[in-house]
Structure 1
């Protein structure tokens, strides 16, 4: 159920008990232990709550309030599929904008997954995908976001898909530039998870409004059904994408008893991020918890604490 504007401030305030979770490591660690500010800001990617949203227990409209009240996060990254029919609905967007303004929550970007393949080698399909993305640039501009996040999906050889990507991404970035909205590519499987390939595409587009959003875990080049059979080195890939990055996606899946991510060396990655930041970096590391052992709320808190700890250590 969507909360009324008057009532949404009462939505699930921060409770001390909510900071305890099943892994147990927060029994000895707390947000109070982190005193030095990280070199980046923390935002919350809506996908972290995708199960809650898909169940109907939370709506896109109420997402910013949950980010602020439950996690103390003042910046949000939306996912288009959770308000896919609202991109042109100014009444809806006005209400969302008003809520975030009243909460003092920053709208950072919109992740676009449902608008079509920007790297399709079929000209008609690719051009249609470019046009489908326009509405999300318009929505991002209205909400005060700095960018939209896109994918380079398609089929064909590395060379053919690179040519298609430069064309589709280039056209979309021109529209983004006119609206002062960045168009950021995330490594999201296939050739886009090859950091060198993606970097070359961005160079050829040659538009300051075209960049990357490195994801800490999406480096699978080839899959067989659900299993990854060819993986790109995540640390090399992040390093190759950072010169074009305007933010990063802090993916997490599980944590050990000390609060470390079990498959990702966060200190190594955040060091790469810090060393590779450029003048266009917008300063946000977006929490994207995608695990299953911890609840979504628990995983978000664990990721936030890890970012704060490691970010402070290397600031």
Structure 2
């Protein structure tokens, strides 16, 4: 039995026993008496079980970036908050929230212990700020590759299956594609020796062109190099100084479809909800059908990035959105 189903079942059983133990009237009200005076308990229908999803839900740490940056939450508490506040069993770290701890084994041991104590799985580390793997300058590209080695090591220790990287670079689409293919292939070689995947999110620029990114991943020739399709991150060009204003956007439904054959993780981006709880910018039913049709049954990470709700409320609504759309 999967952990999430076991925990759900155990929780319901514990609740039922607690009610029976504190209120004797519950059993009296459901009893019958036979002619010889013996009392028999009437069968009480069990509560209907929540339908199982075909995927697992994890929490992307970026969903709590305002809370973390304000110092209202510590990185070490991420696992506990994920379990106790949101009832989820998977966590996706963002390296900037423990940027100077990649090689600090004492700190990493605390992170691992917190995850174990709260019964959550460390899924991946999202890595930024380590250089461009698509840099057309070979020396800078190789520096970026080497900078990511420590995050592969950290991911392996924590029990993650992947690190998420960026395939950024300056130049023509063809030039950056060639450089990114080489950079990703080189980093994936190191990842392969550690059993870690190197995955790329559609994260702006050329990488938000689904066809461009799919071709780059395919051309690495590495089976541990893949994608992390983000439902709502297909903006290729944004207005300078106003990141919310997208000037050039790739078709998100086409993009998800192009990236899913290489997907090793999936990101459920949400920004704005309507009165019924549906995401206004993305047709979640349509996208999830594409994800399911691709044969994907792994983790889908909740990444609430809106500002009209609190982070806690936005995360909870995104979780419910995934359940509604599944």
Question: When the two structures are superposed, what TM-score results if normalisation uses the length of structure 2?
Answer: 0.83
Partner of residue 66, structure 1: 81
Match of 2:142 among 92, 117, 127: 127
1:206 to 221, 233, 237: 221
What does residue 256 of structure 2 align with? Answer: 238
Partner of residue 45 from structure 1, selected from 60, 65, 70: 60
Q: For 1:286-301, list aligned pairs within 5 A.
A: 286-301=301-316
1:288 is paired with a residue whose SS is strand
Structure of greater Rg: 2
Matched, 1:171 2:196: no
In the alignment, which residue of structure 2 is the partner of 1:113?
A: 128
Distance 1:84 1:34, change over 3 A: farther
Q: 2:246 corresponds to which residue?
A: 228
Which is bigger in relative contact order (C-alpha 8 A, separation at least 6)?
Answer: 1
Tell me, what secondary structure is at the counterpart of 2:99?
coil
Q: Residue 185 of structure 1 aligns with which residue?
A: 200
Residues 156 and 234 (structure 1), Cα distance of their counterparts in 2 relative to 1, 3 Å cut: same
- Confirm or deny: 8 A CA contact 2:227 2:263 kept in the other structure: yes
Q: Tell whether 2:267 aligns with 1:256.
A: no
Query: C-alpha distance in 2, partners of 1:230/1:219?
Result: 9
The 1:88–1:259 alpha-carbon spacing in structure 2 relative to 1, beyond 3 Å, is same
Contact preservation (8 Å) 1:34, 1:309: no
- Tell me if the contact between 1:87 and 1:135 (Cα under 8 Å) persists in the aligned partners: yes
Measured in 2, the distance between the counterparts of 1:106 and 1:84 equals: 20
Equivalent pairs counted in the alignment come to 277
Q: Tell me: CA distance 1:112–1:34, structure 2 relative to 1, closer, same or farther (3 Å).
A: farther
CA RMSD in angstroms comes to 1.3
Q: Is 1:218 the equivalent of 2:233?
A: yes
| Partner secondary structure for residue 61 of structure 1 | helix
**CA distance in structure 2 between the partners assigned to 1:216 and 1:113 by the alignment:** 19
What secondary structure, in the 3-state scheme, does the structure 1 residue paired with 2:322 have?
helix
Runs of 4+ in 1 over 2 A off after TM superposition: 32-35
Q: Could you tell me how far 1:33 is from its partner in structure 2?
A: 9.5
* Aligned counterparts of 1:262 and 1:224: Cα–Cα separation in 2: 21
- Tell me: CA distance 1:282–1:271, structure 2 relative to 1, closer, same or farther (3 Å): closer
CA displacement at 1:34 relative to structure 2: 8.5
Distance 1:176 1:33 in 2: 44
Match of 1:266 in 2: 284
Q: 1:195 aligns with which of 210, 229, 234?
A: 210
Q: Does the CA-based 8 Å contact 1:37-1:308 persist in structure 2?
A: no
- The 3-state SS of whatever aligns with 2:199 is strand
Deviations 1:53-81 (CA, angstroms, capped at 9, x unpaired): 00000011111100000000111000000
The alpha carbon displacement at 1:228 in A equals: 1.4
Deviation at 1:167, TM superposition (A): 0.8
Cα deviations across residues 107-154 of structure 1 (Å, max 9, x unaligned)?
A: 000000121111010111111000000000000000000000011111
Q: Equivalents in 1 of 2:274, 2:214: separation in Å?
A: 33
> Shift of residue 35 of structure 1?
2.4
* SS across alignment from 2:100: coil
Rate the CA distance shift 1:275–1:282 in 2: closer, same or farther, 3 A.
Answer: closer
Could you give the per-residue CA deviations for residues 273-302 of structure 1, whole angstroms, max 9, x where no partner exists? 00113xxx5600000000001100000000
